[in-house]
A and B are shown apart, each in its own frame.
Chain A
């Protein structure tokens, strides 16, 4: 089955052609990051306009570099949510237009299902598995007992981990996105400033206490005119942020007897997280997507769509709508 997939949920315009849920024939990603960097974050209106500018070219390039014609496509897949509503709509309407013009079936894919299935690009999955989903908008632990069976074990009760990174980076005077900068600085210092530990029950997460603590600490030091050791503070924040993920993930893997542990989402690119995960999960199979597939891309949507249809989910009508918030349902 050849899937043409479209992803425009945030600031990447991406179209991909994948085959049989495992092979990438093409994956074109047009990033807007340079444009949004000046604003310290993605600006929704600008994102929508840039998607409009880029989508046709990206469609054309995806088909050309896959070496296929529109008629060869068996299924059209598009990210339905969650994401910026204005951005989602560009991809959805483009996908609908293509599907309608060529009379192809259409499916809406959950963005997080896509991130999870980016791991399928590395190799087959082993069930039951626990997947830690970490990005600018998500911090969740998902249990999967089989393909396309998602059970949410816990999630952040306030800020997402990537969001805490961005906000802390902003008060530290670092650039956007905050993750890579904090990650790089943290590697140069020791994490010896005490940080609060989240007291969330079960598999839920919390990052607002940690974020507020770092901000208050900085404000106090600035008021007293004390020097701020940005590297040490970055290292201490990062240590606390990542340990919370490791502790909860380990507990979930043990409690559900998981055979495999996976990481998904943009924060999976964090080097410290990768190291900690590799050291903690030596007794189960481990999956972390390659760097290029951690961030938003349409290939992961195409792979997820393959399994979504195989699991018996029906295709959509051309009235498919976008959703800024969308539940990940089995």
Chain B
């Protein structure tokens, strides 16, 4: 069952990222989905800031993956936008399995490369700055999804 959260504006998104950052653990895999412009990169940027990363977190589409190791935990930011219909990628699977925190945009293109359980957040544009989030998780992520919705 997905948990639904309504985020009113950028400040609320930042607050949500802060809350999410308190649940991170080594090996955390966060999968993001939503159309271009839904806010996937923005959420990743806010989360990165909460993790103590000061560098600019911008799109990893071209190299598919960017690693930030200057925070409390190492962040591996992946964007699989370009891998539609490819059926996954072995080098990204390796990166995900070794990452301390992996954030994966367009994870639908990498389903075969994901671990057994992970947290998914689907973002939907709902007029102006408002976003509707649907949060779901298996295993130990189920409780985190619930906590985020509370």
Binding site for B on A (CB under 8 A): 39-45, 48, 82-86, 135-137, 155-160, 162-163, 167, 208, 211-212, 215-216, 323-325, 327
Contact of A215 among B36, B89, B92 (CB under 8 A): B36
Give the distance to chain A from B35, nearest Cβ to Cβ, in Å: 9
Given contacts A39-B82, A43-B82, A325-B66, 13 further A-B contacts (CB under 8 A): A40-B84, A42-B82, A43-B83, A44-B64, A82-B66, A85-B63, A136-B62, A158-B59, A163-B61, A215-B36, A324-B66, A325-B63, A325-B68
User: Is the CB–CB distance between B91 and A48 below 8 Å?
Assistant: yes
User: Is the CB–CB distance between A84 and B41 below 8 Å?
Assistant: no
User: Is the CB–CB distance between A137 and B91 below 8 Å?
Assistant: no
Give the distance to chain B from A42, nearest Cβ to Cβ, in Å: 8
Asked whether B128 is an interface residue with its Cβ less than 8 Å from the other chain, the reply is: no
Residue of A nearest to B70 (CB): A327
Contact of B36 among A40, A83, A155, A167 (CB under 8 A): A167
Interface residues in B77-92 (C-beta closer than 8 Å to A): 82-84, 86, 89-92
Asked whether B58 is an interface residue with its Cβ less than 8 Å from the other chain, the reply is: yes
Binding site for A on B (CB under 8 A): 36-37, 41, 55-56, 58-59, 61-68, 82-84, 86, 89-92, 95
Most buried by A among B56, B62, B83: B62
A167: chain B residues within 8 A (beta carbon) = 36
Contact of A45 among B37, B61, B82, B91 (CB under 8 A): B91
A216: chain B residues within 8 A (beta carbon) = 37
User: Is the CB–CB distance between B65 and A158 below 8 Å?
Assistant: no
User: Is the CB–CB distance between B63 and A324 below 8 Å?
Assistant: yes
Give the distance to chain A from B125, nearest Cβ to Cβ, in Å: 10
Contact of B63 among A43, A137, A211, A212 (CB under 8 A): A137
Give the distance to chain A from B38, nearest Cβ to Cβ, in Å: 10
User: Is the CB–CB distance between A44 and B91 below 8 Å?
Assistant: yes
User: Is the CB–CB distance between A163 and B62 below 8 Å?
Assistant: yes
A136: chain B residues within 8 A (beta carbon) = 62
Give the distance to chain A from B100, nearest Cβ to Cβ, in Å: 15
Give the distance to chain A from B110, nearest Cβ to Cβ, in Å: 12
User: Is the CB–CB distance between B66 and A158 below 8 Å?
Assistant: no
Residue of A nearest to B42 (CB): A158
Give 5 closest A-B pairs by Cβ, nearest first: A137-B62, A212-B37, A41-B82, A325-B66, A86-B91
